[in-house]
Amino acid sequence: MNTAVRILVPLFLSAFLLTACHTAQKYVESGDYDSAIDLCIRKLKGKPKKKLEYVQGLELAYRKAQARDLATIEQLKVENRPELWERIHNIHVDIRNRQHKIAPLTPLVAKNGYRAQFQMVEIGPMERQSREKAAEYLYDQSVTLLDRAERGDKMAARKAHGLLSDLQKRYYPNYRDKDALLAKARDLGTSYVVFEVKNQSGKTLPRVFSERLLSLDKQGLDSEWREFSFEEKSGLHYDYKAVFKVRDIDISPERVQERSYIDEKKIQDGWDYVLDKRGNVMKDTLGNDIKTPRMVFIRAEVLEVHQSKAARIAGAVEIRDAGNGNLLETCELATEVVFENYASTFRGDEPALSQDSKNRMGNRPLPFPQDEDMLVQAADRLKPNVKDELRHSRSIL
């Protein structure tokens, strides 16, 4: 190792240690004691010779963190407000975790013999008390909210469900009749919707039409707080009635339109020899016969048949309050199913056909679709629109 390296390495090491100590000090001065604790623990863990600055830094940050948290707990208890027990419990958890971090390092002695002092708090009983108090508060709040939910306040039921879920996740998996209250909150907070199809057009709809519309993807409709049915279930109280009302059905006549046209083209059909005044074939300077292309017109008569038929359905999705029948929302929907077919034949010279005419050749007239089939196809087209309206309705809470 040369002289420059021997000088620079200690300098870099000293600068690194000073920076680390300075960072820990900044954490303490800003009140972020736990970050200072984590930094000092990383620097001390696994080191046979503990540096004094980290030992004292850990001791100071721990003492300040504990003092702050214990003082905050006493202040919150003095306020005597049940809703503060959740915060108190969170602080108890912080104290417990902090002590668990420190415990493996104790007794902590610096390489110069300095022994750090860590005052451990018997946190277990405190944490159990705050957990019980916090759970009791969430439980009591849920019961109060469910009383409101039974009078029709669905939002209160959903909030109660959230509080009971917190109680289950954060405090006790099993607590009193929590499971029964969760089920009750789920039921009272769910909006139950029944959907049906009504034909008000004055025309006959095939039975399959309603079946297609009612075969909506229930999983895609249901959400956390909405449940759809496609027929009324006895004993279930519905909050909303959604109806697709078919108001207009229009099926056009089967139309067949014919037209004929001529495709004509000028093509070469052999050669004509150039004759002189005597009727002899003329020769060019090389002695070859002189001839010119013979051009003729060819024709093809095209007969085109255009078949068309259309079915249009219009209606609206109405959402009503199932209790009083009040109309909450209306969305107009319509769709059209069109059948079209082109069939072409020709007579005459095929080479005379234009490219467009050639593209139409080969088709044959097709049987027209039945009215019922077109209406069922219309139902399939309406289905995603109906589903979208129900799923995104703002009237259904």
305-322: average pLDDT:
93
Domains and CATH numbers, the chain: 14-121 (no CATH), 133-189 (no CATH), 190-397 (3.30.160)
3-24: average pLDDT:
46
Average pLDDT over the chain reads 88
Q: Which residues contact 226 (CB under 8 A, 6 or more apart)?
A: 190, 191, 193, 396
pLDDT at residue 344 above 60? yes
Tally of CB atoms within 10 A around 248: 13
Place of tokens 């409101």: 148
Token digits of residue 247: 């108001």
Quickly state the pLDDT bin for 21 (edges 50, 70, 90). Answer: low
Place of tokens 């009971």: 164
27-53: average pLDDT:
90
Question: What's the whole-model pTM score?
Answer: 0.72
- Among residues 351, 349, 277, 339, the alpha carbon closest in space to that of 310 is found at 339
User: Amino acid identity, residue 208?
Assistant: V
The C-alpha atoms of residue 157 and residue 32 are separated, in whole angstroms, by 39
Q: Are 264 and 305 in contact (CB under 8 A)?
A: no
Quickly state the pLDDT bin for 203 (edges 50, 70, 90). Answer: confident
Angstrom distances, CA of residue 298 to CA of 219, 267, 269, 289: 65, 7, 10, 28
350-357: average pLDDT:
84
The C-alpha atoms of residue 318 and residue 197 are separated, in whole angstroms, by 10
The C-alpha atoms of residue 264 and residue 269 are separated, in whole angstroms, by 15
For residue 261, give the H/E element and its range: strand 255-273
Its sign, for the CA torsion 82, 86, 87, 93, is positive
Token digits of residue 14: 């000293």
Q: Are 304 and 258 in contact (CB under 8 A)?
A: yes
Token digits of residue 81: 């407000």
pLDDT at residue 182 above 60? yes
pLDDT at residue 16 above 50? no
206-232: average pLDDT:
87
pLDDT at residue 193 above 60? yes
Q: Which residues contact 9 (CB under 8 A, 6 or more apart)?
A: none
